């Protein structure tokens, strides 16, 4: 029995010298730990308070904490094998809390878990199971990092990771080995001391390395802003965004120190994947380096030595980074914050950016076109004007109002609404919702646009809005909240899905590859509705990266209004991926995605799949307007 279920052996007695040695080392270790951790904690606490942070409602925080921290859900889901290995390491650490406490207490004569007792036996066996899984896991992770070397972990080999891995392995190995030695004798004592030294070496290393996340990340996950990509309002007259160290808030500093450098953000970043300067991991680590060197009281610009302004303006705000960061870092508000710091102070000098801002300063749309063009479209298409009596206000947006393709989508959607008998109208005048200037960090312009629009909507007595553009949906529903109370709004995919049963199906064996727009999928959690609509016209097939892992088209973050990209075109990479599914049609649900893919597919030449919005697919079955 004892051979199959061995007992943990521990030294029975410690000499005074040993105890003193242990105590001395423990104190030294704790001191070394605090010397660094104290500094980090100080920097975080000395950072600016987050003005708009609310602890309540606390339900979501607790749920996220349990799901992401305790169950390691994000860690496992996005990278199953490595994630599971890490999960075991984490769970082993949790399980080892009592083991370690007992280990140290035992040295001073206060051990409370008896390896021979029932509780002790059970507990140590429990811990041993995890220790085994942990040891195997850490070995696997070591091999992955040092031999397989996936590219998002970076070019340089991380020696600290090696050391940590070794220490963890030693801790587990010594623990497990202790089951197989005699309680009396030197072996057990050696194992005990090796374990102790490993432990006392590990402790002070933690705050000096990315393993700080052991202590910080549970807090980071718990204390997040509360919703995806939430851009905090500016607090007061002197706040222009993340200009210098003094603007870094506690949340941002906490997040900067929590980064484990896993590179999952980099792996999914459209900019990083197409040869741009931007790497979300580098942004976060740049902030950490800034805090380490200069601290939260420094006036030196954040964009300069520690992070590049050029990189900050290559972000499409797709959110793939933030969406699956396992330690709760919120990259998008950080990037928008850095952009705010540059734009609100006029430090960003970019021809295309200035052109966009100047166009919206004077005019009503982001394209700089005469609003009479939109009037002409409404007249030609005979769209009803909103007069306060209709159920829906159909918001055209800049693309729906001025882009020839966007107009086609609006026309088909309007046909469907008429077919369904839904009452709707379009506003006589619209101003751009301000999405591109919001993501680029121009708060002055955004405020002007949001306030003007909110007033116009109130005057027109708009209660419900439906629109074809996910960027409009997001900006109106979330970002305008900062300046008033926006009406209810939904995306046309949500509207159409509700009525999908009433829309005629087209009997077609056509394969349709659906591309999840960032602002509909990750930002709004809408994945099934557009697919239901697309299914009206054929068989929906999935691109390799779909749903929350969808790969951006490249237009977001205001980038569609900026100049040429460096490196590969994001839109071409994604278009290639969608075309490779073998589908005859690519279905889009966002006029910006549509615009980006239009060029990218054209570059692929003859034989490229056709590109249609889900509204156009759904309208296929309707009787043609000119049919008698």
Partner 1 sequence: MKIIVAIKQVPDRDSPVHIDAAGKWIEESDLQYAMNESDAHALEEALQLRDQHGGEAIVLSAGPERVGSTIREALAKGADRAIHIVCDDLGARDALGVARLLAAAAKQENPDLILTGLQSEDLGLGQTGVIVAELLGLPHATLILHVEKTGTGIEVKRELEEGWFQTIELPTPAVLTIQSGGNKLRYATLLGIKRAKTKEVRQLAAADLAVDAAPVAVLEEIGLPKKQKSTQMLAGTAKEAATALVEKLKFEVRVL
Partner 2 sequence: MSGVLVVMEQRAGRLARINWEALAAAHRLGAPAAVTAVIAGAQTEAPAAEIAAKGPGKVLRVEHPLLAPYTADGFSIALEQVIRAEQPEYVVFPHTYQVRDYAAALAARFGQVLIGDVVSIGDGPRFTRQLMQGRLNGNYRHSGSSPCFVSVQAGAFPAELSNSGPAEIASFTPSLDAAQIRTRPGEPFRAAAQAVDLGSAQMIVGVGRGIKDQANIALVQELAAALGAELAASRPICDAGWLPMERQVGSSGQTVAPKLYLAAGISGAIQHLVGMKGSQCIVAINKDPDAPIFEVADYGIVGDLMQVVPALTEAVKAAKQ
Q: Strand pairing partners for 464?
A: 488
For partner 1, the binding residue among 51, 148, 297, 444 (CB under 8 A) is 444
Report the 3 state secondary structure along 163-204: HHHHHHHHHHHHHHHHHHCCCCCHHHHHHHHHHHHHHHHHHH
Residues 542-561 that bind partner 2 (CB under 8 A): 560-561
> Can you tell me whether residue 57 is helix, strand or coil?
coil
Among partner 1, partner 2, none, the one that 37 touches (CB under a kind-dependent 5 to 8 A) is none
- CB-wise, 155 or 606, nearer to partner 2? 606
343 binds partner 1 (CB under 8 A): yes
Binding region for partner 1 (CB under 8 A) out of 201-209, 327-335, 364-372, 474-482: 364-372
Residues 587-606 that bind partner 2 (CB under 8 A): 595, 598-599, 602-603
Q: Mention every residue, 6+ apart, whose C-beta is less than 8 A from residue 519.
A: 470, 471, 473, 474, 556, 590
- CB-wise, 31 or 352, nearer to partner 2? 352
How far apart, in whole angstroms, are the C-alpha atoms of residue 263 and residue 284? 11
How far apart, in whole angstroms, are the C-alpha atoms of residue 227 and residue 245? 25
CB of 347 to partner 1, least distance (A): 9
361 binds partner 1 (CB under 8 A): yes
For partner 1, the binding residue among 192, 240, 413, 561 (CB under 8 A) is 240
299 binds partner 1 (CB under 8 A): no
Among partner 1, partner 2, none, the one that 226 touches (CB under a kind-dependent 5 to 8 A) is none
How far apart, in whole angstroms, are the C-alpha atoms of residue 132 and residue 149? 24
Strand order in the sheet with 585-588: 539-542, 511-514, 585-588, 610-613
How far apart, in whole angstroms, are the C-alpha atoms of residue 599 and residue 575? 10
DSSP per residue over 213-244, as a string? HHHHHHHHHHTS-SSTTPPPPP-STT--SS-B
CB of 384 to partner 2, least distance (A): 22
In the DSSP assignment, the letter for residue 490 is E
CB of 564 to partner 2, least distance (A): 5
136 binds partner 2 (CB under 8 A): no
Q: Strand pairing partners for 585?
A: 512, 610
For partner 1, the binding residue among 372, 404, 509, 625 (CB under 8 A) is 372
For partner 1, the binding residue among 220, 317, 442, 475 (CB under 8 A) is 442
Residues 391-420 that bind partner 2 (CB under 8 A): 399, 402-406
DSSP per residue over 297-334, as a string? T--SBSSSSSS-HHHHTT-----HHHHT-TT---HHHH
CB 281 within 8 A of CB 513: no
Residues 321-380 that bind partner 2 (CB under 8 A): 352, 355, 367-369, 376
CB of 387 to partner 1, least distance (A): 19
Give the residues lining the site for partner 2 (CB under 8 A): 352, 355, 367-369, 376, 399, 402-406, 560-564, 595, 598-599, 602-603
Give the residues lining the site for partner 1 (CB under 8 A): 234, 237, 240, 343-346, 351, 353-354, 357-358, 361-364, 370-372, 442-445
């Amino acid at each position: 029995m004892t051979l199959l279920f061995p007992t943990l052996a521990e030294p029975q007695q410690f000499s005074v010298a040993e105890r003193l040695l242990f105590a001395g080392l423990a104190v030294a270790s704790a001191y070394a730990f605090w010397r660094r951790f104290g500094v980090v904690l100080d920097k975080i606490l000395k950072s600016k308070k987050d003005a708009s942070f609310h602890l309540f409602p606390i339900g979501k925080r607790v749920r996220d904490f349990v799901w992401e921290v305790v169950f390691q859900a994000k860690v496992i889901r996005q990278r199953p094998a490595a994630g599971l290995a890490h999960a075991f390491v984490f769970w082993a650490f949790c399980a080892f809390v009592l083991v370690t406490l007992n280990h140290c207490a035992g040295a001073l004569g206060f051990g409370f878990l008896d390896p021979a007792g029932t509780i002790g036996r059970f507990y140590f066996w429990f811990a041993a199971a995890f220790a085994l899984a942990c040891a195997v896991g850490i070995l696997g992770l070591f091999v992955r990092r040092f031999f397989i070397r996936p590219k998002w972990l970076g070019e340089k080999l991380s020696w600290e990771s090696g050391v940590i891995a070794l220490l963890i392995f030693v801790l587990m190995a010594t623990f497990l080995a202790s089951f197989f030695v005699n309680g009396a004798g030197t072996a057990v004592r050696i194992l005990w001391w090796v374990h102790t030294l490993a432990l006392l070496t590990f402790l002070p290393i933690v705050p000096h390395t990315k393993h700080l996340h052991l202590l910080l990340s549970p807090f980071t996950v718990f204390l997040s802003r509360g919703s995806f990509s939430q851009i905090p309002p500016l607090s007061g007259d002197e706040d222009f965004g993340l200009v210098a160290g003094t603007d870094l808030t506690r949340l941002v500093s906490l997040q900067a120190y929590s980064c484990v450098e896993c590179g999952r953000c980099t792996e999914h970043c459209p900019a990083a994947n197409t040869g741009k300067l931007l790497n979300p991991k580098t942004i976060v680590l740049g902030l950490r380096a800034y805090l380490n060197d200069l601290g939260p009281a420094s006036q030196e610009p954040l964009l300069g030595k520690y992070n590049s302004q050029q990189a900050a303006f290559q972000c499409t705000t797709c959110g793939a980074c933030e969406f699956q960061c396992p330690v709760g870092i919120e990259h998008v508000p950080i990037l928008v914050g850095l952009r705010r710091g540059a734009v609100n102070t006029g430090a960003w000098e970019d021809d295309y950016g200035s052109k966009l801002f100047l166009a919206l300063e004077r005019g009503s749309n982001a394209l700089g076109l005469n609003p009479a063009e939109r009037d002409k479209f409404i007249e030609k298409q005979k769209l009803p004007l909103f007069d306060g009596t209709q159920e829906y206000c159909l918001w055209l947006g800049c693309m729906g109002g001025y882009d020839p393709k966007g107009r086609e989508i609006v026309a088909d959607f309007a046909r469907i609404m008429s077919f369904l008998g839904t009452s709707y109208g379009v506003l006589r005048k619209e101003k751009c919702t301000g999405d591109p200037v919001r993501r680029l960090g121009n708060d002055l312009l955004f405020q002007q646009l949001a306030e003007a629009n909110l007033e116009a909507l109130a005057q027109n007595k708009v209660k419900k809005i439906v629109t074809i553009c996910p960027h409009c949906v997001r900006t109106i529903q979330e970002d305008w909240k900062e300046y008033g109370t926006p009406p209810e709004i939904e995306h046309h995919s949500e509207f159409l899905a509700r009525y999908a049963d009433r829309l005629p199906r087209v009997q077609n064996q056509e394969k349709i590859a659906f591309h999840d727009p960032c602002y509909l999928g990750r930002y709004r959690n809408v994945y099934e509705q557009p697919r239901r609509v697309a299914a009206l016209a054929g068989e929906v097939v999935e691109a390799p990266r779909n749903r929350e892992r969808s790969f951006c088209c490249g237009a977001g973050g205001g980038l569609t209004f900026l100049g040429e990209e460096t490196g590969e075109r994001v839109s071409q990479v994604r278009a290639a991926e969608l075309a490779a599914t073998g589908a005859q049609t690519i279905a889009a649900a966002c006029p910006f995605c549509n615009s980006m893919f239009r060029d990218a597919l054209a570059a692929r030449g003859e034989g490229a799949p056709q590109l249609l919005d889900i509204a156009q697919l759904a309208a296929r079955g309707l009787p043609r307007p000119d049919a008698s």
